[in-house]
Amino acid sequence: MSELTISRRGLLAGSALLLASTALPTIGRTQAPKRGGRLIVAADSEPRNLNPAIVASNGVFFISSKIVETLAEASFDGKDGLEPRLALSWQGATDGLSVTFKLRDGVKWHDGKPFTSADVAFSALSIWKPLQNLGRTVFKDLEAVDTPDELTAVFKFAKPTPFQLIRNALPALSSVVPKHVYEVGKIEENPANNAPVGTGPFKFAEYKAGQYYRLSKNDAYWGKDEPYLDEIVYQVLPDRTSAAAGLEAEEIQLAAFSAVPLADLGRIAKVPGLKVITKGYEGLTYQLVVEINHRRKELADLKVRQAIAHAIDKDFVVKTIFLGYAATATGPVPKNDPQFYTADVPTYPFDVAKANALLDEAGYKRADDGKRFALKLLPAPYFNETKQFGDYLRQALAAIGIDAEIVNNDSAAHIKAVYTDHAFDLAVGPPVFRGDPAISTTILVQSGIPDGVPFSNQGGYKNPDLDALIAKASETLDTTARTELYKQFQKKVAADLPLINVAEWSFISVARDTVGNIANNPRWAVSNWADTYLES
């Protein structure tokens, strides 16, 4: 393979946006895909763990989903919004105590060994349930996986588990890894976590710290005549300031996850040879939240949390930070989810006078210098918007007498500080809603989550009533009843404010017009790209 020659210009100035607007065109392709070529993609971070069975997050999926496959993927057209990957079918028992998966035949791991039901059983019982940041909640009642033959896996649950939930979880939480690679030694320390072995259309080929990840074509892929590309290269470009220039100079061919700033989109959309794509993120709604450390005496007081909520001008945040490409949030379920969302929740309109009155009532009077108390504020470093909101929040808190010290960390240090060391008072986070509250939302507020689990309740918040409601919903099989429980869940979260939901948004992709088959499923950026191709 020829040596990589990729310019090291600072590329990528990230911005994120809710694509409620349809002003930006989606450009489709109709000609037959061509084979070969190297797709160069902008990447703004370097995940320390590339095993999506352990870390279910978009930063990991962006790279690893091309290597390690799930049982099913999200689909615009498939039954129940899914299309088969390693599983050809899935059927839930009426009592909610089992789900049977029929697996794809003839699949091989990248090291040549056959994929079987034993790999699915091992992944589910040894990784998803005990180790995965999100799966440990979804699969908490999974007690066994029977493997009557090499192509059948029967999940057995100790308590009734909604089939709806398991279906919804498959695209994000069912990454299957090889048993023979992981069964000896400590799973968390396995070298394959950083050089994955999968069944996907691309193999992990090379990683150079601070430079790039390179994936090469899997010639033995089960997909007929796929993949089309020879290579995918993720160029590591943490300085997100020049994505548009990099695309225009043809130094990169694709910038996903809104790597091109909002301010550049209007101009970029008119540049010959570039296309702006607004599809492909429907299954990934990001939520801007203020995470709260309830171990801090002041923040354990509901009146203080209510005061902070009243101090935030959500409309200003949407208009100024997101330039209108977002929506204000009312609670833990986004407005664009038609099944679970309810607007019937307590709200906290922007009201500085009300916020100050609440703080006075709570007993935190202003000192002579006008300050009530000081807090440590950690904005997540992933997007410009989270960092910009951190600056805004510091100013908003100052207006009500709270002195917030901003601590900016890189991604690894931020995750450690918030989710392991609890070294924060407030944090700005962008959790993802993945189509079902039990997958990635209830974990943000329920108690008992072990230290070190990213994007979970590490603020020490505990509410037995809310925990009981979450548990009941997780075991309710009737879809209507389950939906109603999650509407109650939203009301309780909005009333007690374990965290504060501020806004919700999605993303765009910008690509050279030589890149084909973009955005053809609701999780395209984090799917396998087997059918993505280059025209030249």
Q: Is the pLDDT of residue 258 over 90?
A: no
Question: 2 versus 332: which is more confidently predicted?
Answer: 332
Calculate what percentage of the chain has a pLDDT beyond 70. 94
Distance CA 323, CA 315 (A): 10
Q: How far is CA 158 from the centre of its chain?
A: 28
**pLDDT per position as a tens digit, 490-510:** 999 999 999 999 999 988 899
Q: At what angle do helices 302-311 and 384-398 cross, to 10 degrees?
A: 110
Q: Is the pLDDT of residue 406 over 70?
A: yes
Q: Which residues does 320 contact at the CB level (< 8 Å), separation at least 6?
A: 392
Distance CA 283, CA 198 (A): 23
Binning pLDDT at 50, 70 and 90, where does residue 38 land? very high
Q: Which residues does 459 contact at the CB level (< 8 Å), separation at least 6?
A: 291, 292, 293, 294, 295, 422, 498, 499
What is the mean pLDDT of the segment spanning 79-90? 95
Task: Print the SS3 string covering 251-305.
Answer: CCCEECCCCCCHHHHHHHCCCCCEEEECCCCCCCEEEEEEEECCCCCHHHCHHHH
Please answer whether residues 385 and 288 qualify as being in contact, where contact means their C-beta atoms are separated by less than 8 angstroms. yes
Model pLDDT, residue 78: 87
Binning pLDDT at 50, 70 and 90, where does residue 382 land? confident
Distance CA 13, CA 383 (A): 9
Model pLDDT, residue 10: 29
Local structure of 533: helix, strand or coil:
strand
Decide if domain 285-505 falls under CATH 3.30.70.890.
Answer: no
Distance CA 349, CA 314 (A): 8
Q: Which residues does 94 contact at the CB level (< 8 Å), separation at least 6?
A: none
Please answer whether residues 60 and 66 qualify as being in contact, where contact means their C-beta atoms are separated by less than 8 angstroms. no
What is the mean pLDDT of the segment spanning 93-114? 97
Tell me which of 55-69, 262-276, 458-472 is least confident.
262-276
For 176, the token pair is 């299957």
Binning pLDDT at 50, 70 and 90, where does residue 6 land? very low
Token pair 């210009």: residue:
9
Model pLDDT, residue 325: 80
**What is the amino acid identity at position 62?**
F
Q: Which residues does 3 contact at the CB level (< 8 Å), separation at least 6?
A: none
Give the DSSP H/E element, type plus range, for residue 509: strand 509-512
**pLDDT per position as a tens digit, 166-198:** 999 999 999 999 999 999 999 999 999 999 999
Please answer whether residues 19 and 278 qualify as being in contact, where contact means their C-beta atoms are separated by less than 8 angstroms. yes
Task: Print the SS3 string covering 300-336.
Answer: HCHHHHHHHHHHCCHHHHHHHHCCCCCEECCCCCCCC
Q: Which residues does 159 contact at the CB level (< 8 Å), separation at least 6?
A: 96, 97, 141, 475
**pLDDT per position as a tens digit, 332-375:** 999 988 889 999 999 999 999 999 999 999 999 999 999 999 99
Tell me which of 12-26, 216-230, 344-358, 410-424 is least confident.
12-26
What does residue 511 show for φ and ψ, rounded to 5 degrees?
A: -145, 160
Give the DSSP H/E element, type plus range, for residue 476: none
Distance CA 390, CA 428 (A): 7
Distance CA 369, CA 362 (A): 19
Distance CA 28, CA 187 (A): 42
| CA 404 to each of CA 26, 62, 81, 417: distance values in angstroms, whole numbers, following the listed order | 42, 33, 44, 17
Local structure of 385: helix, strand or coil:
helix
Model pLDDT, residue 264: 83
Q: Among residues 93, 159, 153, which one has the least CA distance to residue 123?
A: 153
Sign of CA dihedral 414, 416, 420, 423: negative
**pLDDT per position as a tens digit, 237-254:** 876 667 788 888 999 999
Please answer whether residues 519 and 508 qualify as being in contact, where contact means their C-beta atoms are separated by less than 8 angstroms. no
Q: Is the pLDDT of residue 18 over 70?
A: no
Q: Which residues does 418 contact at the CB level (< 8 Å), separation at least 6?
A: 291, 378, 424, 427, 429, 458
Domain definitions of the chain by residue range: 38-67+200-278+522-534, 72-182, 285-505
Q: Among residues 59, 461, 496, which one has the least CA distance to residue 256?
A: 59
Question: 289 versus 59: which is more confidently predicted?
Answer: 289
Model pLDDT, residue 17: 29
Calculate what percentage of the chain has a pLDDT beyond 90. 77
Q: How far is CA 198 from the centre of its chain?
A: 21
Please answer whether residues 337 and 433 qualify as being in contact, where contact means their C-beta atoms are separated by less than 8 angstroms. yes
Model pLDDT, residue 25: 38
Model pLDDT, residue 241: 66
What is the mean pLDDT of the segment spanning 56-84? 94
Please answer whether residues 5 and 251 qualify as being in contact, where contact means their C-beta atoms are separated by less than 8 angstroms. no
For 182, the token pair is 């992981």
Model pLDDT, residue 526: 97
Q: Among residues 506, 468, 452, 367, which one has the least CA distance to residue 133?
A: 452
- Other CB atoms closer than 10 Å to residue 407's CB: what's the count? 17
pLDDT, the chain, mean: 91
Decide if domain 72-182 falls under CATH 1.20.1080.10.
Answer: no
Sign of CA dihedral 213, 219, 220, 222: positive
**What is the amino acid identity at position 495?**
A
Q: Among residues 143, 173, 146, 172, which one has the least CA distance to residue 158?
A: 143
Model pLDDT, residue 139: 94
Model pLDDT, residue 31: 65
What is the mean pLDDT of the segment spanning 323-338? 90
Model pLDDT, residue 383: 81
Out of 3.40.50.261, 3.90.980.10, 3.40.718.10, 3.40.190.10, which CATH number does the structure's domain 38-67+200-278+522-534 have? 3.40.190.10
